[in-house]
A and B are shown apart, each in its own frame.
Chain A
Amino acid sequence: MTELIRVVSAESLKLKRTLALRLAIIAPLFIVLLQFGVYLVRGEDAERAATNPAAGFARGIVTLWTLVFLPFWATLSAALCASLDHSDHHWDQLFALPLRRWPIYAAKWIIVFGLVVLSSICLPLFAVAAMEILRQVRMSWRGGALPWGVLLNGVTRSCAACLVLISLQCWLSLRWRSFLFALGVGIAGIMSGIILFSAPLKFLSLYPWTAAAAAASPREPLLPLIWGTGGGLAIAAFACWRLATRNHP
Chain B
Amino acid sequence: MPPSLAIETRDVTYRFDSLTAVEALNLQVPTGSICGFLGPNGAGKTTTIRLLLGLLQPSSGIILIGGQLISRSHPELRSRIGALIESPSLYPNLTGRENLEVVRRLLDIPPANLSEVLELAQLTQRSDQLVRTYSLGMRQRLGLAVALLGNPKLLVLDEPANGLDPAGVHDLRDLLRTLVREREATVFLSSHLLSEVEQIADHVAILDGGHLLFQGTLSEFQAQRKGLLILRADQPENAARLLRQHGWEIDQLPDGALSMPVASALDAAAVNTLLGRHGIAVHHLAQEQVSLETLFLGVTGRMEKRD
Contacts and interface: CB of A to CB of B under 8 A. Distances in A.
Interface of A: 2, 6-7, 9-10, 13-14, 16-18, 84, 88-90, 92-101, 247-248
Interface in B123-181: 130, 146, 150
A248 B150 CA distance: 23
B45 to A, nearest CB: 14
A17 B93 contact: yes
Contact of B105 (A10, A17, A100): A10
A89 B87 contact: yes
B79 interface: yes
Contacts of B83: 92-93, 96
A98 B77 contact: yes
Interface of B: 50, 53-57, 72, 75-79, 81, 83, 85-91, 93-94, 98, 101-103, 105-108, 130, 146, 150
Nearest to A92: B85
Contacts of A18: 93
A7 B107 CA distance: 9
A97 B103 contact: yes
A10 B77 contact: no
Contact of B89 (A6, A13, A92, A101): A92
B151 to A, nearest CB: 12
A247 B94 CA distance: 29
19 contacts: A2-B108, A10-B106, A13-B102, A14-B93, A14-B94, A14-B102, A88-B90, A89-B85, A92-B53, A93-B83, A93-B146, A94-B106, A96-B53, A96-B54, A96-B83, A97-B78, A97-B150, A98-B75, A98-B79
Contact of A7 (B50, B93, B106): B106
B75 A90 contact: no
B55 A95 contact: yes
B57 A96 contact: no
A17 B98 CA distance: 12
Nearest to A10: B105
With a 10 A CB-CB cut-off, give which of B76, B85, B91, B108 has the most chain A CB atoms.
Answer: B91
With a 10 A CB-CB cut-off, give which of B75, B77, B103, B108 has the most chain A CB atoms.
Answer: B75
A98 B94 contact: no
A247 B16 CA distance: 10
A84 B90 CA distance: 10
Nearest to A84: B91
Contact of B75 (A6, A84, A89, A100): A100
A98 B86 contact: no
Contacts of B146: 93
A16 B95 CA distance: 10
A92 B55 CA distance: 7
Given A17-B130, A89-B85, A98-B75, 5 more contacts: A14-B93, A16-B98, A93-B89, A94-B106, A97-B106
A88 B103 CA distance: 15
A3 B56 CA distance: 22
B91 A95 contact: no
Contacts of A16: 93-94, 98
Contacts of A14: 91, 93-94, 102
B54 A95 contact: yes
Contacts of A10: 102-103, 105-106
A7 B56 CA distance: 22
A17 B76 CA distance: 32
B106 A99 contact: yes
B60 to A, nearest CB: 15
Contacts of B87: 88-89
A84 B103 CA distance: 15
B81 A9 contact: no
Contact of B88 (A6, A13, A88): A88
Contacts of B94: 13-14, 16-17
A119 B107 CA distance: 30
Nearest to A103: B106
Contact of B108 (A6, A89, A93): A6
B107 A97 contact: yes
Contacts of B56: 247-248
Given A88-B90, A92-B55, A96-B81, A13 B75 contact: no
A84 B89 CA distance: 11
A17 B93 CA distance: 6
A198 B57 CA distance: 50
A13 B105 contact: yes
Nearest to A11: B102
B57 A247 contact: yes
Nearest to A13: B102
Contacts of A96: 53-55, 78, 81, 83, 85
With a 10 A CB-CB cut-off, give which of A90, A96, A98, A100 has the most chain B CB atoms.
Answer: A96
What are the 3 tightest A-B residue pairs by CB atom distance, in nearest-first order? A93-B89, A98-B79, A10-B105
B163 to A, nearest CB: 13
A6 B85 contact: no
A93 B107 CA distance: 13
Contacts of B91: 14, 84
Contacts of B57: 247
A67 to B, nearest CB: 32
